[in-house]
Structure 1
Amino acid sequence: MTSALDQHREANAHSPHLAAALEAVKDRGIEYIYYQGITVTGRVVGKVMPARHLERTAVKGVQQHRTAVANLQTTRDGVLLGGGVNAAEYTAIPDLDTFAVLPWDTSFARVFCRLYEPDHLSENAGAAYSCDSRGLLKRVHADFTARTGLEMRTGCEPEMTWEGEGLEAHFRPESSPAYHIEHLERNRPIVKKVIAYAQALGLDMIEGDYEDEFQVELNFMYDHADLTADRLVTYRQICKQVARELGIQASFMPKPTTGQMGNGCHHNFSLWRDGVNVLENPGVTELHLSEEGRHALGGLLAHSAGAMLVNGSTVNSYKRYWDAGQFAPSKINWGLDNKTCTVRLSANGRLEYKLPDAAVNPYLSHTLMIAACEDGLKNAIDPGAPTVGSSYEGEQDARFPRLPLTLGEAIAAFDSDQVIKSAFGPELSQLLIDFHADEWARFCGHVTDWERQMYWDDTP
């Protein structure tokens, strides 16, 4: 039987995208290419190669030690996560339809890759590498479509913080600079460069605003979830490049400062079949959700506790959910245009999932959303009545678990959610648990500035 690796190689060898890329290399003077893979935390890893080797590497691929998918992270006990030093490499094969020239240096291009077991293994040779989050989303989404006829379309709202000399934020005390054009003007160099580079790399930029002190959000058009995930990663790389050029810093840290708005990455989604959005009832004008939409929503809510290990993947992530009144959810619920809820019906046919933060791995977040929605559709899970009023008051809906409010709680909730773990597979699920459990242990053993301030002179 032909392996997944061989099928990808064969497709690349005869792909019109290969011919187009080779032509671009020749006509545009491209000298180098980044071959990009994605780690479990959403970090971009890979290799750079001279562009003259594209025709060969498009089929052969590039090799990388598999522990790269866990950021080559060693635990406190000295264990190299992802297989150890003696683990086999994976083979990264480019998806040639993602080949693009970098607008800030047109001698460089990049291409996203999917990861495979090497073909020399005695078992599972050439199989899709189970810890490749980008490849996982493609497989899960394709299987979901084959079973249900549905595809998930999403748009992300990536918030982020900019810091550096020359950046200013001045506004009335006890108010917010949100939506203030004057603050966009003060950040005009950032806005212009990010939008220009993003559009050059295929992102259809649609709107943006100044969200809070030093926080800017620039959005791109929604699309098939697989494309949205790639575009979010590309957007992050663009922002880092713009920061370098302007001599400032750009961060997707979920909660940079106490009392300041956290950096979220809300996922707006809809489900489509045969070109029709099934979340919407045609002819109904008031804010509403179809029966299929309600069941998909019910599944998403039922698995949101287990999903927190992905949606809030760092120790810092949970500072965002603790800061009540800052528009981040603190309970698992939904509402009609209610910005305090976990899921907001923001328009007919569109749901906004507010748990993912700016550091989220978008391939994992979209994978779990698909798995949760399908479980809701299969089991007709009822989301109940929408929350009226502020979610920060009142009790948690008893039908859904409590929202984990620390990384430690999120690890336990993920480990008990068999639907999400089944979608991720045993190897990736265990790697996520091991990676984040080590991070939680490191934090729990670390003395912070807050502790010094609280306890240094507290006794006697």
Structure 2
Amino acid sequence: MPSYAIDEESFRHGLEKLDASSIVGFKQINHSDMILKPDPGTFQILPPDYDNGQRKNARMICDLYESNTSSTSRYNRDSRGIAHKAAEAFSQKGITHTNWGPELEFFVFDAINVYPSPFAATHSYGGSGYSIESKESPWAKGNVSTAIAIKEGYYPSQPKDTLETFRKDVCDDLYKYFGIRIEAEHHEVATSGQCEINLAYGEMKAMADSIITVKNVVKVKAKRRNTVATFMPKPIFGDNASAMHMHQSLWNDNINVMFDPDDPVAQLSQTGRYYIGGILDHARALCAISNPTTNSYKRLVPGFEAPVHLCWGIGNRSAAIRVPMYNRNQERSKRIEYRVPDPTANIYLLEAALLLAGLDGITRKLDPGDPVDENVYKLSASKRREYGIGALPLSLKGALDSLSSDNGFLVSTFTKDFLDRYMELKYGEYTAFAQTPTPWEVSMYADS
């Protein structure tokens, strides 16, 4: 909208600008009018890349409200609203706020070629597949100085790291235009341009808004370079995939509720342990939100630094939940890291679901047991049974089945209406995936 079209009434009564029937999962065409209420706290001038420097542009994130003659209420399928409700639920436990520090991983390729087109895929039998182009890939020609072998992309220097300048440009714009503070950026383990940006920790809703902003800035700046950024977890067979590890801590004003200096093991409070217990207890159901695509489960396999089994450990990156222990007696940095999610997750829903699972653990006093200090990938099945270590779902359908039977901890905040519609859409994705022959299957079974 042009700036002159927005006035004080826009903030008081909202903008009558949304046809909700055009948004998948929202409204039917006969009840489609909704109101957008801009949040003035999210007003930011956008970087020049958003309009080639032709004019000054700004953005505001909006909350969604129902429109009717009697009242105007927050729309129950607004994911930002769900996160807000979850934060309010935690205040009942004496928690004033929560801090979050996501590690956002993604790929930047020179090109992704998909054939045939998505629109022809269900009607064409002339072949199907995809190819990835990257100056860093070991399969590209004439790139001896920039080629990175499979699983050898962690912390390379120039010239092999071809995206160092890109990442710096992204981080500069995030701080200059949006005030988003970055702890670090670097090349990740996979070949062909896998990147990671770590955000400095922040409060729940602000951090979720920041993640939405970071993902959009990355995509826009990649496009301006004639490259393509993707947050798809597993685009390359045989190499590491992209995660979104979620660091979390609970606070009562200036007191870190997760910190206990007298705990000899991890300096982790009993409340922190119960919080871990709740997340582990609901982890299979949480996967439907933390890992919401069919591709997500090609990441959650052994051997690629992604968690597969349900346990917690101290500094143990093979566990689903890790308690970092770089230094002792550091109240400010005491936190847990949930290593399961990937960057296709809706960040508002993810934060809300993790909070509610942890809250359920605190309410029910679900102690997670002793931390596991062994490499969980190498434990035998009998040893895992001895430790009481469960497994994550193997597919999106498995995660949805778990959510279908274990959603009581979410219903009061997410609502049954939201969860039913969410699962309906996601089951539809899985069904389409399960019914579509792939090049691998044709190659494997055509001579049967």
Alignment correspondent of 1:42: none
AA of the residue aligned to 1:206: E
The 1-side partners of 2:10 and 2:225 are apart by 34
**Aligned-residue offset at 1:311:** 0.7
Contact 1:414–1:421 under 8 Å retained in 2: no
Alignment correspondent of 1:51: 3
**Aligned-residue offset at 1:310:** 0.6
Contact 2:136–2:147 under 8 Å retained in 1: no
**Distance verdict in 2 for CA 1:184–1:146, change over 3 Å:** farther
AA of the residue aligned to 1:407: L
Contact 2:151–2:240 under 8 Å retained in 1: no
Alignment correspondent of 1:13: none
Q: Residue 84 of structure 2 is aligned with which of 138, 142, 158?
A: 138
The 2-side partners of 1:145 and 1:411 are apart by 29
**Aligned-residue offset at 1:285:** 7.7
Q: Does 1:82 align with 2:26?
A: yes
Contact 1:94–1:114 under 8 Å retained in 2: yes
Contact 1:184–1:210 under 8 Å retained in 2: no
Total equivalences in the alignment: 396
Q: Does 1:325 align with 2:279?
A: no
The 2-side partners of 1:339 and 1:183 are apart by 29
**Distance verdict in 2 for CA 1:152–1:92, change over 3 Å:** same
Alignment correspondent of 1:98: 42
AA of the residue aligned to 1:351: I
Alignment correspondent of 1:168: 136
Q: Does 1:227 align with 2:173?
A: no
Kindly report which structure 2 residues correspond to 1:60-459, keeping only aligned pairs within 5 A, or say none. 60-62=13-15, 63-68=17-22, 71-72=23-24, 81-104=25-48, 105=53, 107-120=56-69, 125-164=71-110, 167-169=135-137, 170=146, 176-182=152-158, 185-200=161-176, 201-211=178-188, 212-213=190-191, 214-282=193-261, 287-322=266-301, 324-347=302-325, 349-392=334-377, 393-395=379-381, 396=384, 402-417=391-406, 418-456=408-446, 458-459=447-448
**Aligned-residue offset at 1:360:** 0.9
Contact 2:314–2:371 under 8 Å retained in 1: yes
Query: What secondary structure does 1:360 align onto?
Result: coil
Alignment correspondent of 2:119: none
Query: What secondary structure does 1:316 align onto?
Result: helix
AA of the residue aligned to 1:54: I
TM-score (norm 1): 0.81
Query: What secondary structure does 1:86 align onto?
Result: helix
**Aligned-residue offset at 1:220:** 1.5
The 2-side partners of 1:421 and 1:138 are apart by 15
The 1-side partners of 2:343 and 2:359 are apart by 25
The 2-side partners of 1:152 and 1:421 are apart by 21
Query: What secondary structure does 2:342 align onto?
Result: coil
Contact 1:99–1:110 under 8 Å retained in 2: yes
The 1-side partners of 2:289 and 2:12 are apart by 32
The 2-side partners of 1:304 and 1:255 are apart by 21
Once the two structures are superposed, residues 237-285 of structure 1 have per-residue CA deviations (whole angstroms, 9 ceiling, x without a partner) of 1001111111101000011111111110000011111211111113668
The 2-side partners of 1:375 and 1:423 are apart by 13
AA of the residue aligned to 2:98: M
AA of the residue aligned to 1:129: Y
Query: What secondary structure does 1:386 align onto?
Result: coil
AA of the residue aligned to 2:19: H
**Aligned-residue offset at 1:140:** 1.6
The 2-side partners of 1:130 and 1:421 are apart by 11
Query: What secondary structure does 1:181 align onto?
Result: coil
The 2-side partners of 1:318 and 1:267 are apart by 18
The 2-side partners of 1:167 and 1:197 are apart by 25
**Aligned-residue offset at 1:150:** 4.0
**Aligned-residue offset at 1:172:** 7.1
**Aligned-residue offset at 1:85:** 2.3
The 1-side partners of 2:430 and 2:10 are apart by 39
The 1-side partners of 2:444 and 2:438 are apart by 10
**Aligned-residue offset at 1:175:** 5.6
Once the two structures are superposed, residues 409-449 of structure 1 have per-residue CA deviations (whole angstroms, 9 ceiling, x without a partner) of 11111111111233311111011111101111111111111
Once the two structures are superposed, residues 80-139 of structure 1 have per-residue CA deviations (whole angstroms, 9 ceiling, x without a partner) of x4333223322110111010000225611000111111132x6xx312110000011112
Once the two structures are superposed, residues 134-156 of structure 1 have per-residue CA deviations (whole angstroms, 9 ceiling, x without a partner) of 01111220231244334221010
Query: What secondary structure does 1:266 align onto?
Result: strand
AA of the residue aligned to 2:400: I
The 2-side partners of 1:400 and 1:151 are apart by 31
Contact 2:261–2:267 under 8 Å retained in 1: no
* Larger CA deviation: 279-288 vs 190-199: 279-288
The 1-side partners of 2:411 and 2:149 are apart by 46
The 1-side partners of 2:63 and 2:380 are apart by 46
The 1-side partners of 2:221 and 2:135 are apart by 14
The 2-side partners of 1:59 and 1:196 are apart by 34
AA of the residue aligned to 2:105: E
Query: What secondary structure does 1:454 align onto?
Result: helix
